[in-house]
Amino acid sequence: MESFETIVGPATEVHGRLVANESLRIDGSVIGNIEARQGKNVSIALGRTGVVQGDIYAFRVLVAGRVEGNIYAVERVELHEGAEVRGDITYGQLGIEHGAKLNGLMISRNGEEPEGLVDSSAVFQANWAKIKSR
């Protein structure tokens, strides 16, 4: 059972980078990346009406809504019925319910820390460098 200290309601739309120190539930829209502070066991939950257009970096990610971006979870990713993810998922453990949709790669961490997770800006810089070198 998760406990969420912050909730983005269904009538709310957030634009820009969102950094969470505590668990966060999203029932509205977030246009931008969502990042959990390093060393915190922060869960990010996306309700059925929730939409994220950006990447999600967290300890645990629970999705029942729509994500258009990549998901990076240290511990676990859960895709619940009705979830739709258009992007890659990097995970420690993965749970997918019947009726969830994924259009992307599933990448197991195999017990390793995700590259660059020490600082969220380092993750962005590393990914940007890869894109520019193509």
Which tens digit of pLDDT belongs to each residue from 61-99? 999 999 999 999 999 999 999 999 999 999 999 999 999
* pTM summary value: 0.80
CB 125 within 8 A of CB 131: no
Give start and end residues of each alpha helix (H) in 16-134: 120-132
Among 130, 129, 101, 117, smallest CA distance to 57 is for 117
CA angle (60, 62, 66) in 5-degree steps: 130
Would the CA dihedral through 10, 85, 88, 5 be positive or negative? positive
Q: Is the pLDDT of residue 124 over 60?
A: no
Enumerate residues 6+ apart whose C-beta is below 8 A from 127: 116
Under the banding of pLDDT at 50, 70 and 90, the label for residue 2 is low
CA distance linking residue 108 with residue 91, whole number of Å:
5
Among 53, 56, 40, smallest CA distance to 5 is for 40
